[in-house]
A and B are shown apart, each in its own frame.
Chain A
Amino acid sequence: MKKNILLGLFSILLVAGCVNFLGPQQASVDTSNIVSMQPASVSVIPKPPVGTETEFTVTFEVKNQDKAKSVDVDINLFDWGVCGNPTISCAPRTDSRSKQCETLNLVPQQTELVEIKAETPSKEEIGGIAASCPIQWRAQYRFSTVSNAGFNAVSREKMKESQRANKPLEIPLGSSNVGTGPVKPFITFGTTENFVTAKSPIQLSVQVKDQGDGTFNSIVENSLSIIVPKEWYLAVADEDGDDKAREACTKKFYPVDAISELRSRANLKTVTFTNKDAIPLINRETPPQVCNFKAPDLDAENIPQKSYQVSAKLENYIYTLDGKQVVDVKP
Chain B
Amino acid sequence: MRKIFFLAAILFVSGCTNISETIKAGLLTVDKSTEDILVHAELSQPQLKSGMSTNIKFTAENKQQFELKNFALNVFDLCDFTCTVSGSSTEAPQFSADTIRPNRTKDFQMNCKAPVVESERTCEIKFRSSYEGSLGQTHDIFVVTESEFATGRTKVSPLSTETKSPLKISVSWSDTQPFVENDDAILYLDYSYTGEGIIEKLRPGDVSFVFPKNLELEEGRCIDFVKSEIGENNYTLAKDLLFIAGKAKRSTCVFKTKASQPIDSGKLSLKAKFKYTLDGSLPVTVVPKKSI
A147–B119 CB distance below 8 A: yes
A307 touches B77 (CB 8 A): yes
The CA of A164 and the CA of B5, in the complex, are separated in Å by 60
Query: In the complex, how many angstroms separate the beta carbon of B49 from the nearest chain A beta carbon?
Result: 11
Encoded as 1 (CB less than 8 Å from any A CB) or 0, chain B from 280 to 292 comes to 0101010010111
Contact residues, A3-33 vs B (CB, 8 A): 3, 6-7, 9-10, 13-14, 16-24
A14 close to B12 (CB less than 8 A): yes
B121 at the interface (CB under 8 A from A): yes
A107 in the interface (beta carbon within 8 A): yes
> Size band of the A side of the interface?
35 or more
Complex: how many Å from CA A20 to CA B13? 10
Bitwise, B87-110 to A at CB < 8 A (1) or not (0) is 000011000000000000000000
Size of the chain B interface, CB-CB below 8 angstroms = 46
Q: Given B17, B20, B128, which contacts A22 in the complex, CB threshold below 8 Å?
A: B20
Chain B, range 218-263, C-beta contacts under 8 Å to A: 242-246
User: Which residues from B are CB-within-8-Å of A306?
Assistant: 76-77
Let me know if A313 is at the binding interface, CB within 8 A. Answer: yes
With CB as the reference atom, state the residue of chain B lying closest to A270. Answer: B80
Number of A-B contacts (CB under 8 A): 125
Cα-based distance from A132 to B27 in the complex (angstroms): 65
Asked whether B292 lies within 8 Å of A70 as measured between CB atoms, the reply is yes
What residues of A have a CB within 8 angstroms of the CB of B117 in the complex? 148
A179 to B245, CA, bound (A): 42
Q: A307 near B292 (CB under 8 angstroms)?
A: no
Question: Does A304 have its Cβ within 8 Å of any Cβ on chain B?
Answer: yes
| A309 beta carbon closer than 8 Å to chain B | yes
Q: In the complex, are the beta carbons of B22 and A23 less than 8 A apart?
A: yes
Q: Given A6-B2, A161-B200, A177-B120, answer yes or no on A23-B290 (Cβ-Cβ < 8 Å).
A: no
Residues of A within 8 A of B200 (CB): 161, 164
Interface centre among A20, A148, A165, A266 (most CB of B within 10 A): A165
A166 & B246 in contact (Cβ 8 Å cutoff): yes
Chain A nearest CB: distance from B77 CB in Å? 5
Within the assembled complex, what's the spacing in Å between the Cα atoms of A306 and B78?
A: 8
* A52 interfacial contact with B, CB 8 Å: no
Q: How far is the CB of B47 from chain A (nearest CB, A)?
A: 12
- Contact B243–A165 (Cβ < 8 Å): yes
Q: Within the assembled complex, what's the spacing in Å between the Cα atoms of A21 and B12?
A: 11
Question: In whole Å, how far is A42's beta carbon from the nearest beta carbon of chain B?
Answer: 28
Shortest CB-to-CB span from B130 to chain A, Å, is: 11
* Residues of chain B lying within 8 A (CB to CB) of residue A148: 117-119, 121
Name A70's closest neighbour in chain B (CB-CB). B292
Q: Is A174 an interface residue (CB 8 A)?
A: yes
Which chain B residues border A21 with CB–CB below 8 Å? Answer: 16, 19-20
Instruction: Chain A residues near B243: list those with CB within 8 A.
Output: 164-165
CA distance A147 to B77 in the complex (A): 22
The answer for the CA separation of A6 and B3 in the assembled complex, in Å, is: 10
Which of A150, A167, A307: most chain B Cβ within 10 A?
A307
**In the bound complex, do residue B242 and residue A164 qualify as a contact, i.e. CB atoms below 8 Å apart?**
yes
Asked if B244 and A166 make an inter-chain contact with CB atoms under 8 angstroms apart, the answer reads yes
| B64 CB → nearest A CB, Å | 23
Closest to B79 in A: A307
Q: Does A305 contact B (CB under 8 A)?
A: yes
**Further 13 A-B residue pairs, CB within 8 A, beyond A18-B12, A69-B290, A304-B279:** A10-B8, A13-B10, A17-B9, A20-B20, A22-B19, A148-B119, A161-B198, A170-B281, A175-B123, A303-B77, A305-B76, A305-B126, A307-B79
Which residues in A have some Cβ–Cβ distance to B below 8 Å? 2-3, 6-7, 9-10, 13-14, 16-24, 68-70, 107-108, 146-148, 150, 161, 164-167, 170, 172-175, 177, 179, 266, 269, 303-307, 309, 311, 313
